[in-house]
Amino acid sequence: MIPPVVGAAWLQDRRDDVVVADVRWYLDGRSGRDAYDRGHLPGAVFVDLDRVLAGPATREGGRHPLPDPEAFARGMAALGIGDGDTVVAYDDDGGVMAARLVWMLRATGHEAALSTAASPRGTARSRPRPRRGRPRPSPRSRGRRTASRRPTTPPTVRTS
């Protein structure tokens, strides 16, 4: 099983065996997609928190409720992430946003980890350099069934 957090050396040693996911999102309104387009880790796919990792905002559910399980599975499939893929996620805020994807995947039995490789809080010398270019889906996911396991809803916490 993959550890929950991996560093640059771990990622570099296994780069061809994982799907790297850029999960940048900003509360101040800046665009995570624009940040991704300006540069990202080689081969990384962009995972949009608002469109893939959250359902529609509601008064009851808040700004980022969990998405419908089928919508989450479709979002992963559209990114080329399949059931057998290992995902390593990063953002540029110490993993705050990427942790949501990692949690959602691990909660549904998928291999996923948070990477410190791209975080400004990581060691600058050990980070792979961001680059521009098109994402590269994992070779293992091509032509295979895509993510179909359903995310579980966290248990309801009752207070007396």
Please, are residues 74 and 80 in contact by the beta-carbon 8 Å criterion? no
| Confidence category of residue 155, pLDDT binned at 50, 70, 90 | very low
**Per-residue pLDDT at 100:** 95
* Residue 80 Cα distances to 34, 45, 73, 84, 145, angstroms: 21, 9, 11, 11, 10
- All domains in the chain, ordered by first residue: 5-123 (3.40.250.10)
pLDDT tops 50 at residue 133:
yes
pLDDT tops 70 at residue 144:
no
**Per-residue pLDDT at 46:** 97
* Residue 1 Cα distances to 6, 15, 102, 111, angstroms: 12, 16, 14, 7
- What are the pLDDT digits (tens) for 38-85? 999 999 999 999 999 998 877 887 678 788 889 999 999 999 999 999
Q: How far apart are CA 85 and CA 35, in angstroms?
A: 25
- What are the pLDDT digits (tens) for 6-41? 999 999 999 999 999 999 999 999 999 999 999 999
Which of 78, 64, 65, 69 has the alpha carbon at shortest distance from 151?
A: 69
